């Protein structure tokens, strides 16, 4: 789930005569630039960059920038977003320190990065909880932050390839994303120059389907994303700077925290083991498998609080040892994501379960697995192959093949947009079936905004081979199915009821389905008649009735022994 407006990266080839040698030669202290965003010809928001002037960072000469982004809510971008960032660079524009604050709907977060060589120290604060980690940074990288066009203007003016670049020339540049704390692949191609405002400007197209216009002074004038009807334009609009506050809280004093690192097929999964502070001996244990999309160990994904920390903290307080991990390639976990399939994600979960069975403080007869959404597809696979798993809980798990579920989600989204024709839906299904098959697909045959799906092709292929109903039929340990009746991503009737029917038919000895009438996919209460994507950005707690049902069921099967 990635429902945020994420602008692509903006890089360019510039004539050598406009290149400045240092940041200080490019900007005057106090200089500012403003860009406006339009979506489908409607005002969306603004971005401002301000050069504060020379500064000192750790005893070294630096340059200090402050920048802001404000994006308003629209039918296509459902929540208001506010960002404030500070960046300190060396003379060449490479990052030394970066602080990014975000408020998305009612959710606050903060990321602090300090760069040293090919490493960066990161401090991440979300919902008041703070984590510190170290991340790898490719040599010579420049900073990329979603929607912060100004960062790329610095790079463009200082590091254009010179006048020798001809139309058609392509270039790859090292970037590091402060949003996902990972290197970002990017390629840009120079197109024939264009006349704009009576001057000759550089025109570029990039691997994200964007068109970029650069003025003769190296300033970024315009970025357009035709597939999204998005245009970003430099101008002289008024912009009022603002402040954002993010306050960190301390860890829960009821628990002990142990940092763990689990190796899995070329990745190292970083996580935490929590248990009651006064716990002794071998404990019943729980491992939580997250849903699709990058999520950290506490359930934060693209600034959205999914509520995982509330669930796992409640289990720890009840007496369980709980293992929670950052997904592969997220947070402090390593591992490549490009070309990774669902099978590798199942392997990651398998490695985590093996870690629990190998711990001296875990009772191997009392290990349970909880899976949410996609994790609810994974949990039965593990339980069928590992008979020592004592119980599984499936939260909003699908009972149908992935493409059927995704088609339901697309139908709902298209209906809300007034575009749900049978022809459009048929095209969506044909594309998904094609990508999940084995035939070669030429990226040039796809619209620019759909080419990114090729990066997830192995994931789609692996999922296409899974039959959730058949998988759960092979499970013999106790099974609890939990489902929100107002879930718009997974259906109580077409998914949860199907899984229960399979267990009923198999005369499974210990299984139950609990449907919560007013809860959504995150098991949080819904104020309206139906749940919507906008609800995910509201500050809501996981429902108490759900937490009680989950904990009581696991206590009866694992704590009573």
Nearest CA-CA partner of 151 in 171, 124, 178 = 178
| 405: CB partners within 8 A, 6+ apart | 398, 489, 490, 495
Quick: pLDDT tens for 429-481. Answer: 888 888 888 888 888 887 765 776 787 889 999 999 999 999 999 999 999 99
Residues 230 and 263 both lie in one domain: no
Nearest CA-CA partner of 120 in 129, 133, 111, 102 = 133
3-state secondary structure of 343: helix
The domain spanning residue 472 has which CATH number? 3.40.50.1820
In a domain, 28, yes or no: yes
Question: Distances in Å between the alpha carbon of 475 and those of 5, 348, 375, 450, 472?
Answer: 40, 20, 15, 37, 5
Residues 331 and 190 both lie in one domain: no
Residues 149 and 27 both lie in one domain: yes
69: left (phi over 0), alpha (psi -120 to 50) or beta: beta
- A 10 A CB-CB count for 51 gives 22
In a domain, 462, yes or no: no
Measure the CA angle with vertex 177, ends 175 and 181; round to 5°: 125
Residues 107 and 68 both lie in one domain: yes
Residues 132 and 225 both lie in one domain: yes
The pLDDT confidence band at residue 158, using thresholds 50, 70 and 90, is confident
Of 416, 435, 456, which residue is a domain's last?
456
In a domain, 3, yes or no: no
The pLDDT, as a whole number, for residue 76 is 67
- A 10 A CB-CB count for 478 gives 22
In a domain, 8, yes or no: no
Quick: pLDDT tens for 238-278. Answer: 999 999 987 666 778 899 999 999 999 989 999 999 999 99
Residues 535 and 447 both lie in one domain: no
Domain that holds residue 486: 255-400+467-559
Please tell me the distance from the alpha carbon of residue 292 to that of residue 4, in angstroms, as a whole number. Answer: 16
Please tell me the distance from the alpha carbon of residue 472 to that of residue 503, in angstroms, as a whole number. Answer: 7
The pLDDT confidence band at residue 302, using thresholds 50, 70 and 90, is low
| 45: CB partners within 8 A, 6+ apart | 36, 37, 69, 70, 71, 72, 81
Highest-scoring range by mean pLDDT, 170-179, 336-345, 372-381? 372-381
For 510-538, what is the mean pLDDT?
A: 91
The pLDDT, as a whole number, for residue 78 is 77
Q: How many domains does the chain have?
A: 3
Strand partners of residue 516 = 484
Residue 523 or residue 200, greater confidence:
523
Residues 554 and 452 both lie in one domain: no
The pLDDT, as a whole number, for residue 13 is 26
In a domain, 245, yes or no: no
Residue located via tokens 């004038």: 221
Q: What are phi and psi of 425, to 5 degrees?
A: -65, -35
In a domain, 374, yes or no: yes
pLDDT at 7 over 60: no
Strand partners of residue 249 = 129
| 424: CB partners within 8 A, 6+ apart | 414
Quick: pLDDT tens for 41-93. Answer: 899 999 999 999 998 775 668 899 999 999 998 876 678 999 999 999 999 99
| 294: CB partners within 8 A, 6+ apart | 180, 301, 302, 327, 329, 330
Residue 528 or residue 395, greater confidence:
395
Residues 533 and 407 both lie in one domain: no
pLDDT at 182 over 80: yes
Quick: pLDDT tens for 105-146. Answer: 888 889 999 898 888 989 888 877 788 888 889 888 999 999
**Is the CA virtual torsion 299, 243, 99, 9 positive or negative?**
positive
In a domain, 7, yes or no: no
Residues 312 and 223 both lie in one domain: no
| 116: CB partners within 8 A, 6+ apart | none
The pLDDT confidence band at residue 20, using thresholds 50, 70 and 90, is very low
Q: Parallel, antiparallel, or unpaired for β 199-206 and 170-172?
A: unpaired
What pTM, to 2 d.p., does this model score?
Answer: 0.74
The pLDDT, as a whole number, for residue 86 is 94
What is the maximal distance between C-alpha atoms in the chain? 81
Question: Distances in Å between the alpha carbon of 6 and those of 70, 83, 302?
Answer: 13, 13, 10
Residues 420 and 524 both lie in one domain: no
Residues 167 and 197 both lie in one domain: yes
For 218-228, what is the mean pLDDT?
A: 88
Residues 293 and 219 both lie in one domain: no
In a domain, 149, yes or no: yes
Q: What are phi and psi of 446, to 5 degrees?
A: -100, 150
Question: Distances in Å between the alpha carbon of 451 and those of 273, 402, 435, 439?
Answer: 39, 20, 11, 16
Of 392, 421, 456, which residue is a domain's last?
456
Q: Parallel, antiparallel, or unpaired for β 81-89 and 95-104?
A: antiparallel
């Amino acid at each position: 789930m990635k429902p945020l407006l994420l602008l692509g990266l903006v890089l360019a080839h510039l004539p050598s005569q406009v290149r400045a040698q240092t940041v200080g030669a490019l900007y005057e202290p106090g200089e500012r630039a403003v860009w406006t965003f339009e979506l489908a010809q409607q005002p969306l928001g603004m971005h401002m960059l301000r050069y504060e002037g020379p500064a000192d960072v750790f005893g070294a000469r630096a340059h200090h920038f402050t920048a802001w982004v404000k994006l308003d809510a629209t039918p296509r971008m459902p929540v208001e977003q506010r960002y404030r960032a500070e960046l300190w660079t060396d003379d060449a524009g490479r990052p030394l320190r970066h602080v990014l604050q975000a408020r998305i709907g009612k959710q606050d977060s903060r990321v602090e990065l300090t760069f040293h060589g090919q490493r960066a120290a990161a401090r991440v604060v979300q919902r008041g909880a703070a984590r510190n980690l170290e991340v790898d940074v490719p040599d010579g990288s420049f900073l990329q932050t979603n929607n912060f066009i100004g960062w790329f203007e610095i790079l463009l003016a200082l590091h254009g390839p010179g006048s020798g670049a001809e139309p058609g020339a392509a270039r790859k540049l090292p970037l590091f994303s402060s949003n996902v704390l990972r290197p970002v692949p990017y390629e840009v191609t120079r197109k024939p120059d264009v006349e704009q405002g009576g001057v000759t400007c550089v025109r570029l197209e990039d691997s994200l389907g964007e068109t970029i216009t650069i003025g003769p002074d190296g300033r970024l004038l315009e970025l357009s994303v035709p597939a999204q009807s998005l245009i970003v334009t430099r101008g002289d609009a008024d912009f009022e700077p603002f402040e954002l506050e993010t306050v960190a809280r301390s860890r829960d004093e009821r628990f002990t925290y142990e940092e763990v690192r689990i190796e899995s097929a070329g990745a190292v999964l970083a996580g935490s083991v929590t248990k009651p502070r006064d716990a002794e001996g071998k404990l019943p244990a729980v491992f939580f498998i997250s849903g699709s999309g990058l999520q950290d160990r506490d359930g934060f994904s693209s600034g959205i609080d999914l509520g995982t920390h509330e669930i796992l903290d409640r289990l720890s307080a009840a007496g369980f040892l709980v293992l929670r991990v950052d997904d592969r390639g997220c947070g402090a976990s390593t591992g490549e994501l490009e070309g990774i399939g669902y099978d590798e994600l199942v392997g990651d979960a398998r490695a985590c379960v093996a870690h629990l069975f190998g711990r001296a403080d875990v009772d191997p007869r009392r290990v349970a697995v909880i899976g949410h959404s996609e994790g609810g597809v994974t949990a039965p696979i593990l339980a069928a192959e590992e008979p020592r798993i004592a119980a599984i809980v499936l939260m909003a798990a699908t009972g149908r093949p992935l493409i059927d579920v995704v088609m339901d989600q697309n139908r709902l989204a298209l209906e809300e947009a007034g575009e749900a024709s049978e022809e459009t839906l048929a095209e969506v299904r044909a594309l998904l079936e094609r990508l999940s098959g084995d035939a070669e697909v030429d990226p040039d045959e796809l619209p620019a905004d759909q080419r990114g799906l090729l990066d997830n092709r192995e994931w789609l292929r692996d999922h296409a081979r899974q039959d959730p109903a058949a998988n759960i039929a092979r499970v013999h340990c106790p099974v609890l199915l939990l489902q929100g009746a107002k879930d718009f991503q997974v259906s109580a009737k077409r998914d949860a009821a199907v899984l229960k029917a399979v267990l009923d038919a198999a005369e499974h000895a210990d299984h139950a389905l609990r449907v919560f009438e007013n809860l959504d996919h995150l098991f949080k209460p819904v104020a309206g008649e139906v749940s919507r994507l906008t609800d995910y950005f509201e500050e809501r707690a996981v429902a108490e009735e759900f937490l009680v049902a989950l904990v009581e069921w696991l206590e009866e099967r694992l704590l009573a022994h």
